[in-house]
Every structure is written in C-alpha cells, then in structure tokens.
C-alpha cells in the first residue's frame, strides 16, 4: 500500500530516532519478539549487572558518588543511555538518544572533577531526560505534530541552561502526544507509548515518554510539563514521583507548543523522578540560581525545605490533612480507594497529624471552566496544524478539541476571554473560602489535601477521558505532588459489586474496571497544597513518608 505524505514524515522521524539508538556502543541487547504484558523486569535480565546497579540507583545515591569520583560520569551516562535505548524497544518512549553529545559532556564532567577536585555543581554528572518540546538548540520541537517535524529550537530552554550550570548531562528526549493535550501519549509521528507494567494500559500524558522511561529506570530524573495533569498522570501511571509546581516558580521560556502566550491556564515545567529527593534537588537547584533575575515573570521565592524548617513548621502544631475520597463526580476504582483507606488509617494513628474528610467543592464546574479556557483561539489553531501536516486527528485529540462543550467553535474575542477569566477568578475565590472554612473551629485550616490522581490506575489505551482529579488543581494553580504507593492486586482489588453510579461519567468509569484488566498497574496518590505553598507540600510529604513508610 502506498504511503501517504504524513506517513513518510513519520517514517523519517522514526528512522532518525533509530539511527540515534544505533550509535549506542556496545549495541543494546535484542528484546524478545513476543513481549510479555509486563516488561518492567526485562532490563534486569538483558543488561549487565553493573549497568543494572547504576541505573537503579536513586538521584540521592548517584550524586554523592559522582561528586567524589566513586562513579565516573562516563560510566553512568553509558549505563543510562543503554537502558534508555532498551526502554524504547519495550514501550516506545524515546524520540532521540543523544549519544555523542552526552558522552562529550560526561567526559567534561570527569575532567573538571579531576582538575578542580570538586564537582561542577549540585547536579554534577547526573543524567537528566527531557520531554521533546522543551527546546534544545539545533534539535526539533515538533510537539507531536507532523507539520512541525522541521521546527528547530534556536537556543536551549532557560531551564536547561540552569540545569547545565549545575552539572547535569542531557542524554535522551522523550515522546509526547499530538496536541500535547492528552493524558496519554500517542502521535502519528511515533505511535503509542505504552505502560511498562501492563502494555495494554497507557503510560499517561502528555509527559508519557518521561513517565515510561522513568518507570523502566532508563532515567532517574526528568523534565515534564503540566497544564491539566501532564506530569502527574504519567508519574502515577508508571509508579514514579512527579511534581506540578505553582505557576512561575520554574522558568517556562524555550518550550514550544500551540497557543504560546496564553495566560488563562498557565502551563508549568516540573520534575519527575524515581525518588522524592530527586524532585527536591531539582526544585532547589533551579530556584537557588535566582532565575527571576533573567525571567522577570517568575515569582522571586527561595526554596526552603530543610529539616529545621520542617520542625519549625510542624513541630509546635499538628499537620492537618484533608482526605478527598472522591470529587463528587467520578468515584475512583477499588485500588485507589484501598490506597487512600490504608494510608489514612496509618495517618490517624500518627502523633502530630490530624485527619479530616475533605468535601470537594464544585469539581464538575471546574472542568467546565478550564476546558473553556484551554483553547481561547478555538480548536481551529490545532486543527489547522494537523491539516497542514495532512495527518489524521487521533481519538483523544478529537475528544479534547471537538467533544468538550466549553471549547469555543470560533476564536474568542477579548471580551469573552475577560468574562471567562472573571469566572475563573470567582471559582478560585470560592475555593479559597472553602479551604479557609476547614479552620473555622480551631483557627487551623487544612495544610494539604491527600487525594486520587485520577479515577483509577493507568487506563486502557484511548480511555483517559476524565481529567478533573488533576485539572482542577491547574485551574486553581495549586502545587501537587504525586507519589507511588503499590500496585493493583487481583485478590485485593475486587470490583465493587452493587455500586450505583452517580452519573453517566461515573457509570462509564465504573464499567471500565476489572482487576484482571488493570493487572500490575501502579497505584499512586496526590498531595495538594495552596498556591505558592509548594515547600509546605514537600514538608508535609516528608512528614507523611515518615508516618506511613511510602
């Protein structure tokens, strides 16, 4: 069958990726022709023991070993490059492996350490993976669009410059979906990125390549972006850590996307990692360099999450945690409810922690508001880009662009945008009052909310159609941290028999679940704080980790 022009472009993109993987030396081992449903353990079987040992070290283990020369940057990068190349064969999560650039940088790190007797900076020699649309000078920023295959960044994104200053080594770029607006990762350029724990399920999106790569330990620290759940969805689906900071805490400049310049729902850059400490060192490393001096839109807030600060914050009073069991619209599947129940039970028995039930406030309305603000230029902008590339619209692109009532059919006027913005601000004010009311009795409102990341574990492919467990916090601009808890168990997580759904969306989600269908999928939860109280979320998470062992 004759290929269509867009298919030829996709073939070119994939050939470029495959050529980059072919530069890995020695070549990555062949994977089985028939892959099992769960491929999470295959890298341990296919890589050398030394490569496995290095790639399964956490950032907080790698950094001191790199800083004092116990590990060389070259050895570490070679190991992660090989595991990333293998991850691509298993779940299709990579757009490019930058072997020559990474090795050159790693050699520089080793030479610097030998010459100066100390590291370049706090991230000396650490491998960091990067989502494709975050600009790297001279490399593509296609954002999942066929028409943008030859869009090339003129400079490195500012956040990459800051990480480079700190000693980081960039070595791999990862997949993202068409539009950058799916909670999955599928494009006509690269196909579908699947979940390493269960290849019939999604890796999440739009930072799904990052999530899958981290899940397979082809990375220990990566960069994602989030406008509706795009860091938290893949972090949860792949059993890793992810953080959506408040807007303007980290620099956005240099990332490419449709609708650049819109300020109705501000996208944020944030870290994804195999550990909690990885998130913290990422945030601290960037913010300690005072990026607001170069990017004036940023909020000039220092990063303070030291142990003494934790004691100061919570040593004299209880940590008050609100448990949001569900959002009043769609009840999460049994594995998520089990995780919440188990963690809540541990927290209730922990001195210094107070638990209350959190009543969700108009979360259905939150989706109506945010979906009306995502595409103020209307769906036409994205549809025109797809038409220019001659590519078909994918199911979840159609879902978010054409099936949502709030998405305008024509470009909004300034006055309609203002009216929508007034509605957004009114919702924020209402939610703040709702939060404040939790302190009416004792003068101590809730510190953080513990809640689901989604209406279930990683959904089957093409089924990530309910965003409100993450997007509500984008609308409010609240920081949110995702952490892994366990996995779906076929004996533990039976279907809730006799459940009466609250509405059609709830009914659809309820019928989606069976423990067999979701076998092995990671279970994660989300900790949410108030706007610009990002550090409090980290400190509360530290407190909760001590109490629960997560």
Domain boundaries, the chain: 20-293, 314-365+384-397+420-548
Q: How far is CA 318 from CA 257, 479, 538, 543, 544, in A?
A: 43, 21, 16, 11, 12
Say what the pLDDT of residue 430 is: 98
pLDDT band at 410 (very low <50, low <70, confident <90, very high): confident
pLDDT band at 2 (very low <50, low <70, confident <90, very high): confident
Q: Which of 2, 189, 17 is nearest to 95 (CA)?
A: 17
pLDDT band at 311 (very low <50, low <70, confident <90, very high): low
pLDDT at 247 over 90: yes
pLDDT at 314 over 90: no
Give me the mean pLDDT over the 450-456 stretch.
Answer: 98
- Give the phi and the psi of residue 439 in degrees, each rounded to 5: -110, 15
Q: Which of 59, 99, 47 is nearest to 77 (CA)?
A: 99
Say what the pLDDT of residue 205 is: 98
Say what the pLDDT of residue 310 is: 53
The Cα 227–Cα 370 span in angstroms is 10
Q: Is the dihedral of CA 296, 299, 305, 308 positive or negative?
A: positive
User: Can you read off the two tokens belonging to residue 175?
Assistant: 């997949």
Chain segment 331-373, per-residue pLDDT in tens? 999 999 999 999 999 999 999 899 999 999 999 999 999 999 9
Say what the pLDDT of residue 312 is: 57
Chain segment 515-534, per-residue pLDDT in tens? 999 999 999 999 999 999 99
CATH class entry, domain 20-293: alpha beta
Say what the pLDDT of residue 69 is: 97
- Predicted TM-score of the model (pTM): 0.97
Q: Which residues contact 42 (CB under 8 A, 6 or more apart)?
A: 31, 32, 35, 36, 86, 90
Chain segment 179-225, per-residue pLDDT in tens? 999 999 999 999 999 999 999 999 999 999 999 999 999 999 999 99
Q: Catalytic residue positions? A: 131, 206, 230
pLDDT at 309 over 60: no
The Cα 409–Cα 357 span in angstroms is 40
DSSP result, 469-503: HHHHHHHHT--EEEEEEEE--TTTS---TT---SS
pLDDT at 112 over 90: yes
Say what the pLDDT of residue 308 is: 52
Do the domains 20-293 and 314-365+384-397+420-548 sit in the same CATH topology, yes or no? yes
pLDDT at 460 over 60: yes
Give me the mean pLDDT over the 249-276 stretch.
Answer: 96
Contact 541, 450 (CB under 8 A): no
CATH class entry, domain 314-365+384-397+420-548: alpha beta
The Cα 389–Cα 144 span in angstroms is 11
pLDDT band at 161 (very low <50, low <70, confident <90, very high): very high
SS3 155: coil
- Average per-residue pLDDT for the chain: 96
User: Can you read off the two tokens belonging to residue 115?
Assistant: 């010459």
The Cα 10–Cα 92 span in angstroms is 14
Say what the pLDDT of residue 377 is: 84
The Cα 450–Cα 100 span in angstroms is 43
Mean pLDDT check: name the lowest of 105-109, 211-215, 407-411, 419-423. 407-411
Instruction: Give the alpha-carbon dihedral of 533, 538, 539, 545, to 10 degrees.
Output: 150
Pairing of strands 448-452, 480-487: unpaired
């Amino acid at each position: 069958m004759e290929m269509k022009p867009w298919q030829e472009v996709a073939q070119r993109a994939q050939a470029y990726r495959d050529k980059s993987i072919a530069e890995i030396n020695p070549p990555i081992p062949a994977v089985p022709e028939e892959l099992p449903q769960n491929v999470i353990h295959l890298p341990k079987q296919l890589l050398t023991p030394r490569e496995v040992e290095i790639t399964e070290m956490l950032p907080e283990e790698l950094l001191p070993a790199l800083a004092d020369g116990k590990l060389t940057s070259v050895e570490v990068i070679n190991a992660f490059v090989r595991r990333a190349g293998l991850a691509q064969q298993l779940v299709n999560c990579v757009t490019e492996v930058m072997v020559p650039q990474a090795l050159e940088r790693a050699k520089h790190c080793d030479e610097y350490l030998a010459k100066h007797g100390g590291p370049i900076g706090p991230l000396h020699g650490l491998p960091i993976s990067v989502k494709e649309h975050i600009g790297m000078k001279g490399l593509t920023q296609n954002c999942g669009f066929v028409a943008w295959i030859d869009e090339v960044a003129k400079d490195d994104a500012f956040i990459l410059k800051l990480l480079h200053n700190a000693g980081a080594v960039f070595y791999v770029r990862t997949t993202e979906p068409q539009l950058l607006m799916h909670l999955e990762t599928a494009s006509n350029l690269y196909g579908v990125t699947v979940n390493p724990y269960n290849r019939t399920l999604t890796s999440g999106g739009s930072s799904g390549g990052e999530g899958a790569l981290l899940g397979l330990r082809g990375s220990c620290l990566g960069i994602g972006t989030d406008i509706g759940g795009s860091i938290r969805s893949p972090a949860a689906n792949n059993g890793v850590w992810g953080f959506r900071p408040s807007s303007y805490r980290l620099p956005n400049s240099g990332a490419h996307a449709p609708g650049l310049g819109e300020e109705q729902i501000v996208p944020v850059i944030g870290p994804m990692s195999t550990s909690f400490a990885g998130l913290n060192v990422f945030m601290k490393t960037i913010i300690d360099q005072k990026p607001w001096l170069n990017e004036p839109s940023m909020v000039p807030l220092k990063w303070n999450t030291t142990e003494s600060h934790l004691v100061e914050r919570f040593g004299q009073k209880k940590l008050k945690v609100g448990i949001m069991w569900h959002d009043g619209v769609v009840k999460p599947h049994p594995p998520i409810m089990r995780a919440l129940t188990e963690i809540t039970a541990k927290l209730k028995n922990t001195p210094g922690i107070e638990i209350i039930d959190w009543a969700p406030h108009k979360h259905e309305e939150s989706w109506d508001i945010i979906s009306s603000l995502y595409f103020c230029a209307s769906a036409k902008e994205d549809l025109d880009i797809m038409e220019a590339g001659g590519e078909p619209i994918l199911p979840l692109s159609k879902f978010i662009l054409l099936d949502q009532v709030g998405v305008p059919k024509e470009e909004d006027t300034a006055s309609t945008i203002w009216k929508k913005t007034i509605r957004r601000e009114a919702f924020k004010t209402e939610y703040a009052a709702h939060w404040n009311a939790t302190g009416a009795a004792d003068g101590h409102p809730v510190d953080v909310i513990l809640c689901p990341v989604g209406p279930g574990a990683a959904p089957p492919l093409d089924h990530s159609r309910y965003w409100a467990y993450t997007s509500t916090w984008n609308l409010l601009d609240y920081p949110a941290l995702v952490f892994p808890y366990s996995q779906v168990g076929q004996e533990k997580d039976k279907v809730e028999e006799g459940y009466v759904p609250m509405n059609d969306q709830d009914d659809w989600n309820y019928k989606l679940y069976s423990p067999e269908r979701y076998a092995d999928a990671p279970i994660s939860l989300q900790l949410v704080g108030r706007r610009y109280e990002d550090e409090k979320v980290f400190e509360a998470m530290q407190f909760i980790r001590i109490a629960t062992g997560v």
